[in-house]
Structure 1
Amino acid sequence: MKKLIIWVVMQFLYRGMKVLYKDDSRIKEELDGWKQDKVLTLQVMHGPSITIKYTYQKGLQKVKNVEPDICITFKSIQTALLVFTGMMSVKSAYLEHRFSLKGDVFESMRFVRCVDLVETYLFPRFMTKRILNHQEKKYKSTIITYIKTLFA
């Protein structure tokens, strides 16, 4: 059951980021700031994974069997569940060495900032107050973002 929850949240995170890439200029700026097209894998050891490719021409898309430039691997299903359900911040998980990072740290932080913005839109305020350092401004309605994310 935990693996299914993590997989669903990964899909929703990807779709939310894809929608907000068009609707929130901060996400577009972060991803467009990468020095070149990037492939990022988000995975859980012995669990689900998602590989996302970003190109200047096509934006975000899911891909398979591509070597990532950046790979974030959660060391346990329990940690991934805590992070993906908003019970633990990415920052806390990083500080506690609960995931490993392969690739450029600076460029991976661009992705983490995008995740923080997506969480601002998709998680209720009481959750984001606990896991984010500060509340980001929303430029679109949460309801509209959810609807677009469901159909992305």
Structure 2
Amino acid sequence: MKKMLIWIIMQFLYRGMKVLYHEDKRMKEEFDGWNKDKVIQLRVNHGPSITIAYAYLKGLSKVHRHPDIVITFKSIDTALMVFTGQMSVKQAYLEHRFSLKGDVFESMRFVRCVDLTETYLFPRFMTKRIFNHYEKKYKPSLWIYLKAILTL
């Protein structure tokens, strides 16, 4: 059951990021800051994974290619805590709850995009608990949810 929930959340996180790439200039600036294509994989030991490709100035898509950056959560429970807003990515990193393969500097861009996406997808009481700052929303969360649900 936990694996299925994590897989669903990963899909929604991807869709939210894809929508926000076009709807929020901060997301676009973060990804476009790479200046070249990247493939990022989020995965859970003995659990689901998602591989996302970023194409410069084009946006995001799901792929099945060798990743440049791999973020691997060490347990299903940790991934669930991060993906449901019970723990920030920063806290999980500080507690060594995931491993990172690839360039740390480049992966921080991706983490900032995850944080921004969570700002839109989570209610404010959750984001106040996991982030020490509040990002302004330029579009209503409901708009992002609807576009994410309708985006293929």
Normalised by the length of structure 1, the TM-score is 0.97
When the two chains are superposed, the root-mean-square deviation of aligned CA atoms in Å is 0.7
- The answer on 1:16 being equivalent to 2:16 is yes
- Name the structure 2 match of 1:103: 102
Gaps of 5+ in 1: none
The alignment-based identity, stated in percent, is 74
Q: CA deviation at 1:59?
A: 1.1
Separation in structure 1 between the aligned mates of residue 58 and residue 134 of structure 2, nearest angstrom: 29
8 A contact 2:44–2:75 mirrored in 1: yes
Q: Distance in 2 between matches of 1:18 and 1:78?
A: 26
Q: Which runs of 4+ in 1 moved over 2 A?
A: none
The structural deviation recorded for 1:130 is: 0.7
Letter in 2 for 1:18: K
Verify: 1:84 aligned to 2:88, yes or no.
no
SS in 1 for 2:133: coil
2:103 aligned with 1:115: no
1:6 counterpart letter in structure 2: I
Q: Which amino acid aligns with 1:30?
A: E
- Give, in whole Å, the separation in 1 of the partners of 2:93 and 2:28: 24
Give the AA of the match of 1:88.
Answer: M
Shift of 1:58: 3.1
> Aligned residue for 1:70?
69
Q: What is the count of residue pairs matched by the alignment?
A: 151
Q: CA deviation at 1:124?
A: 0.4
SS at 1:88 equivalent: coil
2: distance between equivalents of 1:24 and 1:35? Answer: 18
Structure 2 length as normaliser, TM-score? 0.97
Q: Which residue of 1 aligns with 2:61?
A: 61
Shift of the alpha carbon at 1:81? Answer: 0.4
Distance in 1 separating the partners of 2:137 and 2:103: 29
Q: What's the CA shift for 1:57?
A: 4.9
CA 1:35–1:57: 2 relative to 1, 3 Å: closer
Cα distance in 2 for partners of 1:139, 1:24 equals 7
Find the aligned partners of 2:55 and 2:30 in 1 and give their Cα distance.
Answer: 13
Other-structure match for 2:44: 44
* DSSP-derived class of the 1:136 partner: coil
SS in 2 for 1:145: helix
Measure the CA separation in 2 of the matches of 1:35 and 1:101.
21
